[in-house]
Amino acid sequence: MTLTEKILARASGRPRVEPGDNVWVETDILLTHDVCGPGSIGVFKREFGQDARVWDPSKIVIIPDHYIFTADRLSNRNVDILRDFAKEQGLPYFYDVIDDPNGSWTFNAEVGQIKRQYGSRYQGVCHAALPRLGHARPGEVLFGTDSHTCMAGAFGEFATGIGNTDAGFILGTGKLLVKVPETMRFYLEGAMPPGVMAKDVILWVIGDIGFDGATYRAMQWEGPGVGSLNMDDRMTIANMAIEAGGKNGIFPADKATHEYVSERTTRNGTKADYNPVELDKDQKLIFDKVYDLSKLEPTVAMHPNPGNRALAKELEKVKLDRAYIGSCTGGKASDFFAFAKVVKGRHVKIDTYGVPATSDVVQELKETLWETQSVWNVLVEAGVKMTENASCAACLGGPTDTFARLNAPLTCISATNRNFPGRMGSKEAKVYLASPYTVAASALTGHVTDPREFLS
Ligand code: SF4
């Protein structure tokens, strides 16, 4: 069996499963956030009763992250609904926006986008926060009410996005009926050359198979090249399985995975035991292709979809209005370090915005010194408009007062993961997806730029 099949077989209590089998799967973690949480709670209460109790409070993780820093009343209300539910059900893993459980969350626009005003438990983007908090473990089943839940496949687990109805059912029962997907194998060899990042790997692959090329399939990453990818790299790649229509993305767990997980579960006091699945020699695959990482170049997904591939060096004529670094895919500390490496001692030519994925990233950027200067200050001095308000921000547009939202038909290069029309705001805006290196180099020149000229 493939990794996905082995996990689904175990979670459904069967010795083996085949692609196409429909199986009832036990949930290890259900993740939800401020956009879909209230709807899922509504389904749960409607179907199981107003006084119903969730199946297992210790397996529910709620991380508000999407529409947080907005004065929009209904968005603020969503967070209050989550808080009320967490209190009612005694949920230990609700990462509230504020510290006072009796308070309510209203963003104070007068305080501004720069000054932090959230509480100490606030985390930021759920997919980036989940593993940092020790909720992503090899061999487990993670369902989340968000399509990029597949990011946790980086840790050797079955992780996939579901709708509110399914989440409401899981809240009541802990189970979900899943059709076992076929598996596509992406066999990596070599190591990424200078100037190339994990984002280039996934953009190259999606360009290869198309933005529907993995529809309802597991994207399994294997081969000696996997060992050269750190956990952040693997997260970036697994995150974008859904941009090819994938049911999930998955990496085998190795030493790097176990070290990362054990450090996070120990630090946060989250469940530390887990049972990983190992790769079988004999696997039935629907697609099998070798990719040599050393041959890759800085890659871009052009407007209007993540499969519309070109090399950065082929797009020098594309003029840009804006650059953006942030999101679960591109707002990790390592992404900002890469970005800062390119812009250090230089100044951006176009409006450039930076939104750290989590509040830990804010802290790490401020505490990491390059000579005597913090990385945060390197970015600010280069002209990047940084916010301390870690969240999804403009990655998916959001309310019109969202930081860095594309409120006009601008052309933007972005380290995020999705560029369908309207994704970051205006339906007329054009979004080009690229690695933090490429976004940084393009911010310096005002047109799409191969970053290698700034890295030599
Ligand atoms: S950062 Fe973007 S892709 Fe990630 S969860 Fe938020 S909206 Fe979705």
pLDDT band for position 453 (50/70/90)? very high
Ligand 1 in contact with 125 (CB < 6 A)? yes
Task: Please report the atom of ligand 1 found closest to the CA of residue 331.
Answer: 1
The answer to which of 101-110, 260-269, 374-383, 445-454 has the lowest mean pLDDT is 101-110
The per-residue pLDDT of the chain, averaged, comes to 97
Show the beta-strand stretches assigned E in 387-444: 411-414, 430-433
Tens digits of per-residue pLDDT, 135-162? 999 999 999 999 999 999 999 999 999 9
Residue 224: CB partners within 8 Å, gap ≥ 6? 188, 189, 190
The answer to which of 6-20, 106-120, 352-366, 367-381 has the lowest mean pLDDT is 106-120
pLDDT band for position 105 (50/70/90)? confident
- Give the residue from 205, 392, 232, 424 showing the smallest Cα distance to 301: 205
CB 319 within 8 A of CB 448: no
Q: What is the pTM of this model?
A: 0.98
Tens digits of per-residue pLDDT, 187-241? 999 999 999 999 999 999 999 999 999 999 999 999 999 999 999 999 999 999 9
**Cα separation values, 407 from 172, 410, 428, 430, Å:** 40, 8, 10, 12
Ligand 1 in contact with 146 (CB < 6 A)? yes
Rg, C-alpha atoms of the chain? 21
Quick check: 442 pLDDT over 70? yes
Mean pLDDT of 343-355: 98
Ligand 1 in contact with 338 (CB < 6 A)? no
Edge-first strand order for the sheet with 299-301 is 309-311, 299-301, 430-433, 411-414, 322-326, 351-355, 385-386
- Given the structure tokens 């969503």, which residue do they identify? 78
User: What integer pLDDT is reported at residue 326 of this predicted model?
Assistant: 98
Mean pLDDT of 84-110: 91
Ligand 1 in contact with 417 (CB < 6 A)? yes
User: What integer pLDDT is reported at residue 112 of this predicted model?
Assistant: 63
CA–centroid distance, residue 124 to ligand 1 (Å): 10
Ligand 1 in contact with 392 (CB < 6 A)? yes
Ligand 1 in contact with 396 (CB < 6 A)? yes
Specify the residue with its C-alpha closest to ligand 1, atom 1. Answer: 327
Quick check: 373 pLDDT over 70? yes
CA–centroid distance, residue 147 to ligand 1 (Å): 9
User: What integer pLDDT is reported at residue 101 of this predicted model?
Assistant: 83
User: What integer pLDDT is reported at residue 121 of this predicted model?
Assistant: 93
- Given the structure tokens 């459980």, which residue do they identify? 101
- Given the structure tokens 């993670």, which residue do they identify? 142
User: What integer pLDDT is reported at residue 113 of this predicted model?
Assistant: 67
Q: Other CB atoms closer than 10 Å to residue 409's CB: what's the count? A: 12
Which part of the chain has CATH 3.30.499.10? 3-177, 181-272+284-295, 301-455
Torsion of CA 90, 260, 183, 245, to 10 degrees: 60
Q: What percent of the chain has pLDDT over 90?
A: 95
d(Cα 123, Cα 86) in Å, to the nearest integer? Answer: 16
User: What integer pLDDT is reported at residue 44 of this predicted model?
Assistant: 98
d(Cα 386, Cα 392) in Å, to the nearest integer? Answer: 14
CA–centroid distance, residue 325 to ligand 1 (Å): 12
* Domain boundaries 301-455, corresponding CATH code: 3.30.499.10
Mean pLDDT of 411-429: 98
d(Cα 149, Cα 146) in Å, to the nearest integer? Answer: 6
d(Cα 183, Cα 79) in Å, to the nearest integer? Answer: 37
* One-letter identity of residue 294: S
Specify the residue with its C-alpha closest to ligand 1, atom 4. Answer: 328
Task: Please report the atom of ligand 1 found closest to the CA of residue 65.
Answer: 6
Q: What percent of the chain has pLDDT over 70?
A: 99
Quick check: 114 pLDDT over 70? no
Element (H, E) at 248: strand 248-250
For 3-177, CATH number out of 3.30.499.10, 3.30.390.30, 2.60.200.20, 3.40.1710.10 equals 3.30.499.10
User: What integer pLDDT is reported at residue 108 of this predicted model?
Assistant: 80
CA–centroid distance, residue 66 to ligand 1 (Å): 7
- The two tokens of residue 58 are 């210790």
User: 3-state DSSP call for residue 171?
Assistant: helix
User: What integer pLDDT is reported at residue 172 of this predicted model?
Assistant: 98
CATH class of the structural domain 181-272+284-295: alpha beta
